[in-house]
Amino acid sequence: MSQPDPDPLLSRPRRLRRGSVLRDLVSETRLDASRLVMPHFVLPDERTVEPIPSMPGISRTGREALLRTVASDLELGLRSVLLFGLAGDGRKDPTGSLARDTESAVPQAVAALEREFGADLLVITDVCLCATTDHGHCGVLDGGDVANDATLPLLAEMAVIHAEAGADMVAPSDMMDGRVAAIRAALDARGLEQTGLLSYSVKYASAYYGPFRDAADCAPGEGDRKTYQMDVRNAREAEREALLDEAEGADMLMVKPALAYLDIIRRVREVTRLPVAAYNVSGEYSAVKAAAERGWLDEPAVVRENLLAMARAGADVILTYHAREALAGAWL
Ligand code: PBG
Ligand code: ZN
């Protein structure tokens, strides 16, 4: 494999770049709509559509608007969604009770999507407490600490509610230890063994989540997420987290963010047999949007290059806010 060409002086790599038909024929990475997942910020009402200033092109939507958007996305071939539930006017509290309310945004939206689109749409739900806790952390607090084991049953209950509403997969994003096993056990105990589990296995304490925290109003009031999300300096630890989640019963593993972590996507791809997903997060999206608005970057070309980079690094699945525009404009 790593032998040089027999006679380097006669070698002409450019011969394979002559014309787009030949380039397409020999391209090593392919990306199409079936690998993309579109994230949605869901409000617990019917009609609201609230554009998110720091994420041009993305809105918080009530159920009716969500159904409309998803219907038109399906026509583009975009068949998978990730739902984030927002508190809306609902009351936040220390344990994020809203997340365990069957009348809240996500279970209601999941049921509506299920009724409307059935098996044509794959519905994945984000499972975490931070959008519904008054302190904004991803788990419950004990003193100043985010308490690991006390958080697990709350996440498990939230996942069960999403699954019972009809979610195809649940995706815990909290980074508590042992949550994959806890959620899997709770699902199985309720007869929900068909519900899949996509773990945010390798989630870094990243500054790239800024626009999302505006969108979901989930920035921690005090402190940061560094006692549960991963240290930006670590790569070996990513393999450890990935293998733990595989052992605990995850069906798919995610690396997040994507672009500053292409090395991690590659490493995780090499240590697991599960599908690997990459989350092209809010800050990565907004940075491209902002530069494109100023005319500093060619948005279609940069988005294509970024998404291809994630696929080339080893991502089987890509979650991206660019999905709709990339497909509508045939950017890939
Ligand atoms: C919450 C959550 C976050 C994201 C997904 N789920 C924010 C955070 O952990 O602070 C980030 C997504 C994005 O930036 O697009 N657990
Ligand atoms: Zn969270």
Ligand 2: centre distance to CA 227 (Å): 13
- The Cα 212–Cα 61 span in angstroms is 14
Helices (runs of H) and strands (runs of E) counted in the chain: 11, 12
Q: Which residues pair with 319 in a beta bridge?
A: 37, 279
pLDDT band, very low/low/confident/very high, at 144 (cuts 50, 70, 90)? confident
Cβ–ligand 1 contact at 307 (below 6 Å):
no
CA 231, 232, 233, 234 dihedral sign is: positive
Cβ–ligand 1 contact at 106 (below 6 Å):
no
Instruction: Give the model's pLDDT for residue 1.
Output: 63
Instruction: Give the model's pLDDT for residue 148.
Output: 98
**Closest C-alpha to ligand 1, atom 8:** 209
Q: Does the pLDDT of residue 243 top 70, yes or no?
A: yes
Which CATH topology does 31-251 take? TIM Barrel (3.20.20)
Q: Identify the three-state secondary structure at position 40.
A: strand
> Residues whose CB is under 5 A from ligand 2 (ion)?
128, 130, 138
For this structure, is 256 an active site residue?
yes
Q: Mean pLDDT, the chain, as a whole number?
A: 97
Domains of the chain, residue spans? 31-251
CA distances for 10 relative to 1, 16, 36, 217, angstroms: 19, 14, 41, 60
Cβ–ligand 1 contact at 282 (below 6 Å):
yes
Lowest mean pLDDT among 7-11, 152-156, 256-260, 270-274: 7-11
Ligand 2: centre distance to CA 229 (Å): 10
Q: Does the pLDDT of residue 330 top 70, yes or no?
A: yes
